[in-house]
Structure 1
Amino acid sequence: MSSSFGGSPMSIEGIIEAAAWLVMTIALFLLVPKEKIRDAMVVFFFKQVLTWFFGILVVQWNLIAYPVRLFANAIKTSFTFEFYIYPGLCVLFNLYYPEQGSFIRKAIHYFVFTTGITIFEAFLQKYTKLIEYIHWGWPWTWITLFLTFLASRYFYRWFRGDFTSKAVPVAEDPRPRR
């Protein structure tokens, strides 16, 4: 029972998918500073690569099914969540990461994002037809989300030049200030 647009427009699945697109779009417009748009795009596309690969694998290995999904005739994974919502949340995770925070503050940041998404997915799995766990469970979701957040964090730090031997600000404007 798959649909080409997340169920009928008035189904709970259709409402959730439409709301997810709307809320994430508004969040990205409001919460991504203009000077960080390039960074946001890099993180977004990197997370899409990860979710594309792992999302297809878990469906092909019959671990998860998405009975109701956008583009049901094109792909068996959830386009909305794998290609837009998770990457969008990853952008916010990275842009608002507590760089100067303590280890505890950084661990809480990981915990809040990973656990929040896991709880939301578990809710969707239990009460909707948007996701069905076959040979999967919420601990696997939590672990894979944590690992992809960690990977995106290291990739983003590499992109910014944080691993270079000299501490040179990457985004500094060379033009004199007036």
Structure 2
Amino acid sequence: MVILYLAWIITVLLLVIFIKPENSIQAQVSFLFMQIPSWLFGAWVVQKGFIEYPVGFLKMIYKSSFTFEYFVFPAVSAIFNVHFPKDRSWFVKSIYILSFPTVITIIEVNLEKYTQLIKYLNWAWYWSFISITFTLLISYGYYLWFFKKIKNMYGNS
């Protein structure tokens, strides 16, 4: 459980460091949007018996990882979207896109190997990498769509 508390503290610190007040609305939209696919996919992989979370918060209510799906991954998505290098080359964008799931997957693999927080049953690290990448890209697509709609609706202000 210490690791879970640390995850919450570190995530809050990352948000404070990487989300400036002028980007708080963009971060909030990204955060709230990511909770939908994250919770749904997290519940699905547990229900299908791919992954198990033996230890965690709210285990009686939610069998998946409350910490990751409700807070950590949505926060990562907010940082990812707000700092996306949209005006950079495809190479830089590709490195950026792949760096986030790489770091998360490395952390997850180590948690699976050395803790009771996550257990792969019918799962492999590459499924995490693929699903995290795909979900972040969906989130960024929503982010672009949402703020384009807002801009078209209310102008540049």
- TM interval, shorter chain, is over 0.9
RMSD: 1.9
One of 83, 88, 93 as aligned partner of 1:106 = 93
Runs of 4 or more above 2 Å deviation: 170-173
> What is the alpha-carbon distance in structure 2 between the residues aligned to residue 127 and residue 84 of structure 1?
22
| Superposition deviation, residue 106 in structure 1 | 0.2
| Superposition deviation, residue 46 in structure 1 | 1.0
Change over 3 Å in CA distance of 1:171–1:30 after alignment to 2: farther
| Superposition deviation, residue 171 in structure 1 | 7.2
| Superposition deviation, residue 109 in structure 1 | 0.4
| Superposition deviation, residue 27 in structure 1 | 1.5
What amino acid is the match of 1:133? Y
The yes-or-no answer on 1:30 pairing with 2:17 is yes
What amino acid is the match of 1:106? K
Structure 1 segment 91-170 matched on structure 2, within 5 A? 91-161=78-148
What amino acid is the match of 2:55? V
Q: Which runs of 5+ in 2 are unaligned?
A: none
> What is the alpha-carbon distance in structure 2 between the residues aligned to residue 24 and residue 142 of structure 1?
20
One of 40, 51, 55 as aligned partner of 2:42 = 55
One of 38, 57, 60 as aligned partner of 1:73 = 60
Give me the identity figure in percent: 36
Larger Rg computed on CA atoms = 1
The yes-or-no answer on 1:17 pairing with 2:1 is no
TM-score (norm 1): 0.83
More helix by proportion, 1 or 2? 2
Q: Which runs of 5+ in 1 are unaligned?
A: 1-13, 174-178
2:51 maps to which residue? Answer: 64
> What is the alpha-carbon distance in structure 2 between the residues aligned to residue 76 and residue 31 of structure 1?
30
> What is the alpha-carbon distance in structure 1 between the residues aligned to residue 155 and residue 50 of structure 2?
42
| Superposition deviation, residue 29 in structure 1 | 2.0
The yes-or-no answer on 1:42 pairing with 2:26 is no
TM-score (norm 2): 0.94
The yes-or-no answer on 1:172 pairing with 2:156 is yes
What amino acid is the match of 1:97? F
